[in-house]
Amino acid sequence: MPDPTLALARQIIARPSVTPDDAGCCDLFAARLRALGFSSEFISRNGVTNLWARRGAARPLFVFAGHTDVVPTGPLDMWTSPPFAPEIRDGMLYGRGAADMKSSLAAMLTATEAFVAAHPRHPGSLAFLLTSDEEGDAVDGTAAVVDALKARGETIDFCVIGEPTSVDTLGDMVKNGRRGSLSGKLTVKGIQCHIAYPHLGRNPIHLAAPAIAQLGDTEWDQGNEYFPPTTWQISNIHGGTGATNVVPGSVEIKFNFRFSTASSVDSLKQRLTAILDKHELEYDIDWTLGSRPFLTGRGPLAEAASAAIREICGIDTELATTGGTSDGRFIAEICDQLLEIGPVNATSHKIDECVDVEALPRLSAIYTRILEQLLPP
């Protein structure tokens, strides 16, 4: 009998849902979830498709979350097989979105179907939160659904996001948090003049250099059990007119903090401006908070996931907070416990993206066992 997770993964990989196009994926999920007794609601915004489907009204509420959109394919002639014509070769399923994250979506749905079939009167509630705007701007996707749920006073007890978190083999790593991102555009002001007469001006690049050195050497925090220390990095510097005989009137420096729960947004801003003030700079800063850090410590969800992975995969998983950001940053605002659990990440966004075929039924089984532990019949 064909594996249902593999069959569904192939079906949705075949849909060219390049962000923010959903290509009918959410309609497919809504139909299958309605057959299980879920109510479905499309909370779409600015052309982005968002699905919120729920079964039951009792607590606790367990949510599977993910995105149906994929990144662009890149040059088609570099793919061994067409990216939206899923193909199995040497035990791997190839296609855009195979790893990130349509295989996880398929496993979530088949796990839910198996769980509801076995336990139709399960306690608590189940829900799906799907969006077609994660790989793009991520403005009108999960954030829009969270806004709607907030307005209704709805909160989530447990959430699993299907991002590809594994490193070498299924289940070896689970993400239990992500660092925050705080960016700034710093403009240091000087006085423009002829470069042959520097005493008539003030070179903002020279003035900023000692402060930049101190910022680069600063230990912002030491991290904690789950997070590495906060980092501060410059991404862009621009100053000058392009001429070689003009001292610039200003220099623009773009920078970014990747920070953990060991620091706050306000503390990082205050410490940075204190260093600039110490060097007596005249400056302006425009701040942009990309995301706040979030963390799920050891508790029922982490314990259930660890036990499920140990049972299905025979390994002990590692809880980690490495990598970039995810839609977990939005869901964490209304969710007590959140983990990201998915297949091996090695080929995400690459040409010939793929996933191990044998991992698909095991990922579905992991999700099912988590449900059985958190919503015990």
Question: Quick check: bond before 20 cis, omega within 30?
Answer: yes
Tokens of 203: 């070179």
User: How far is it, in rounded angstroms, from Cα 220 to Cα 229?
Assistant: 7
The CA dihedral of 98, 103, 104, 109, to the nearest 10 degrees, is 150
Q: Is the peptide bond before 78 cis (omega within 30 degrees of 0)?
A: no
What H or E segment, with its residue span, contains residue 193?
A: strand 193-194
Pair 161, 331: CB distance under 8 Å: yes
Angle at CA of residue 135, ends 129 and 139, nearest 5°: 70
Positions marked active-site: 69, 134
Q: Give CA separation, 133 vs 92, 140, 191, in Å.
A: 27, 7, 45
Bridge pairing between strands 156-161 and 335-340: parallel
